[in-house]
Amino acid sequence: MAIIYIISMVVAFSFYFGGAQVVFWYKYLIALLWALSYLGVCIFKEKKIKGNSAIIIKMYVYPLLTILAWSSFIFIFHSPSGANIGNVTRMVSNIVYLILAVTSAVSTTYYFGKKVIKYSIWAIFISIMANLIYCIHLYGLGIFLQYLPQAASSTDFPFGSVLYNFASCIEVQDATLATGFYILYMILFDEEDSIKTKLFYMGLLLVCSYLGFKRTEFIAVIFTVIVMWIIKKYAIDLSLMIKVIGIAILLFSFGYICIVKWDLFQTIIDKVGANVTGRQNVYRNLARYYEISPLYIGKGFTFVDKTMYDTTGFSAHNTVVRMYAELGFIPFIIWIVWYLIRIPLKILNKFGEKNALIVMTSTLYLFFTYCIGNSMNFYCIQYSFILITVATFDSNGKLNYKKIRFKI
């Protein structure tokens, strides 16, 4: 069964292969089959659903259903200019995929327990290696050897050059960013494996991270480790820290939204000398779709992202600003507070500090990736985010269990 899981996730974790996008419905189908298999076991054998799994499903699915309801209201009563049936189908399909990311993570944890973390690392590694082999086949071993020592500066390759094209071919953004969750788990929370085992799996993860080099991932991992280390080192009250971090990120998010809206992004990156691969132009376009006002009600989930891609060929490349543009002022605040304050506090009160730290760590890292990318669109990232949470919960033995019986 483990082999079936690894093979299926190699496909599900592959957003791009050889520079070409993998068909979306493959991911939907794989996630759906894992979720339905678990549901079937629960219905026909009346198995127990572990209490933390039930709580995880509620905590992460309910807000998605709320977003669906709010966006439906916007499309019906405040339909933005240019909205059509395609926007509705995109919204529904994205909500379904996000729900499947949650339920399939719960399902695979039920089957494999904590081992699913290592199986997932293997799936990511094989996915990236398979893509690498194909790219080497296309461009030659010499180009790969030339690229290898320069991977960290791949964004500086001249547009259209062989190295640029190879870097585009080898890029597997979703799988590369997803490795961050597993790296953080290995560094901060893996207390069962030997040093040798940890080093082995860290080696696999670091190879994946370097080949698909994303500076965002390295910065996010380092910052998250520092924050968690400070909390653990100085025994800071976790309840207070959760609130402080949540409010800080909320304020940062609104500052970021204002920077994009007022076209200050270019000025800032010029001063720090950062290469943001043309995002400043994408953000200028993104700024056209929203207003900064407490009365701003949003355009509806996925509307801005889809409209930008349909008209320019580029999506928002910023989940934080995009969610503000799509949800509106007040719903955006609720979205941030729910994920960064409400959920960690609920976990802390019910299951203790270790579980709350795990959730907070994964959520912090996820939001860092949201700041300059489309991480919400990637199954591998959303699945790994939930997987680390539920798999580590299942293993610590401190949780209550609740039986849910299905009557036919």
User: pLDDT tens digits for 266-297?
Assistant: 788 777 766 666 788 888 999 999 999 999 99
Residue 1 burial class via C-beta count within 10 angstroms: exposed 0-12, middle 13-18, buried 19 and up: exposed
3-class DSSP assignment, residue 213: coil
- The tally of CA atoms less than 13 A away on the side-chain side of residue 361 is 29
Given a cut of 50, whether residue 236 has pLDDT beyond it is yes
Given a cut of 50, whether residue 401 has pLDDT beyond it is no
Q: Which helix (H) or strand (E) holds 393?
A: helix 379-395
Q: How would you label 364-373 residue by residue, b for 16+ Cβ within 10 Å and e otherwise? A: bbbbbbbbbb
Of residues 407 and 241, more confidently modeled: 241
On whether residue 61 sits in a domain, the answer given is yes
The pLDDT of residue 314 is 84
Q: What is the pLDDT of residues 18-46, one digit of tens each?
A: 555 666 678 888 999 998 887 777 766 65
Instruction: Name the residue type at position 49.
Output: I
Structure token digits, residue 329 = 């002022």
pLDDT above 70: percentage of residues in the chain: 88
pLDDT-derived band at 54, boundaries 50, 70, 90: confident
Of residues 25 and 167, more confidently modeled: 167
pLDDT above 90: percentage of residues in the chain: 46
> Whole-number mean pLDDT of the chain?
85
On whether residue 173 sits in a domain, the answer given is yes
- What CA–CA distance (Å, rounded) separates 276 from 208? 22
Of residues 407 and 269, more confidently modeled: 269
The pLDDT of residue 335 is 97
The pLDDT of residue 373 is 82
Contact criterion met (CB below 8 Å) for 91 and 69: no
The pLDDT of residue 22 is 63
Residue 264, Cβ neighbours under 10 Å: how many?
Answer: 13
Nearest to 289 by CA among 259, 326, 319: 326
Residue 270, Cβ neighbours under 10 Å: how many?
Answer: 10
Structure token digits, residue 187 = 């560094």
Structure token digits, residue 242 = 């959760």
- Determine the average pLDDT of the residues in 229-249: 87
On whether residue 405 sits in a domain, the answer given is no
Nearest to 184 by CA among 90, 258, 121, 141: 121
The pLDDT of residue 397 is 37
Residue 236, Cβ neighbours under 10 Å: how many?
Answer: 12
Given a cut of 50, whether residue 260 has pLDDT beyond it is yes
The pLDDT of residue 402 is 37
For the CA atoms of 363, 107, 212, 268, the dihedral, rounded to the nearest 10 degrees, stands at -20
- The tally of CA atoms less than 13 A away on the side-chain side of residue 37 is 16
Given a cut of 90, whether residue 101 has pLDDT beyond it is yes
Given a cut of 80, whether residue 2 has pLDDT beyond it is yes
Of residues 152 and 322, more confidently modeled: 322
Contact criterion met (CB below 8 Å) for 45 and 159: no
Q: What is the pLDDT of residues 77-89, one digit of tens each?
A: 888 877 888 889 9
Helical H runs in 13-84? Answer: 24-45, 51-77
The angle at the Cα of 292, spanning 287 to 295, to the nearest 5 degrees, equals: 130
Structure token digits, residue 296 = 């701003």
The pLDDT of residue 168 is 81
Given a cut of 80, whether residue 165 has pLDDT beyond it is yes
- Among 86-95, 192-201, 224-233, which is the least confidently predicted range? 224-233
CA distances from 182 to 12, 164, 205, 360, 380 (A): 17, 28, 8, 14, 12
Q: Which helix (H) or strand (E) holds 216?
A: helix 215-233
On whether residue 406 sits in a domain, the answer given is no
Given a cut of 60, whether residue 408 has pLDDT beyond it is no
The pLDDT of residue 15 is 62
The pLDDT of residue 274 is 64
Nearest to 354 by CA among 162, 115, 185: 185
Structure token digits, residue 389 = 């949470």
Q: How many domains does the chain have?
A: 1
On whether residue 331 sits in a domain, the answer given is yes
Percentage helix, strand, coil, to 5, in the chain? Answer: 75, 0, 20
Contact criterion met (CB below 8 Å) for 124 and 175: yes
- Determine the average pLDDT of the residues in 101-112: 91
Contact criterion met (CB below 8 Å) for 321 and 260: yes
Given a cut of 60, whether residue 206 has pLDDT beyond it is yes
The angle at the Cα of 377, spanning 305 to 144, to the nearest 5 degrees, equals: 110
Give me the domain span that covers residue 87: 2-395
CA distances from 365 to 80, 172, 200, 222, 385 (A): 32, 18, 23, 10, 9
Given a cut of 50, whether residue 395 has pLDDT beyond it is no
On whether residue 164 sits in a domain, the answer given is yes
- Determine the average pLDDT of the residues in 353-382: 90
Nearest to 67 by CA among 345, 363, 336, 344: 336
| First vs last C-alpha separation in the chain | 28
Given a cut of 60, whether residue 406 has pLDDT beyond it is no
The pLDDT of residue 49 is 55
pLDDT-derived band at 48, boundaries 50, 70, 90: low
On whether residue 17 sits in a domain, the answer given is yes
- What CA–CA distance (Å, rounded) separates 8 from 97? 16
Angle between helices 343-351 and 51-77 (to 10 degrees): 160
- Among 62-76, 91-105, 143-157, 223-237, which is the least confidently predicted range? 143-157
On whether residue 172 sits in a domain, the answer given is yes
The pLDDT of residue 131 is 86
The pLDDT of residue 219 is 85
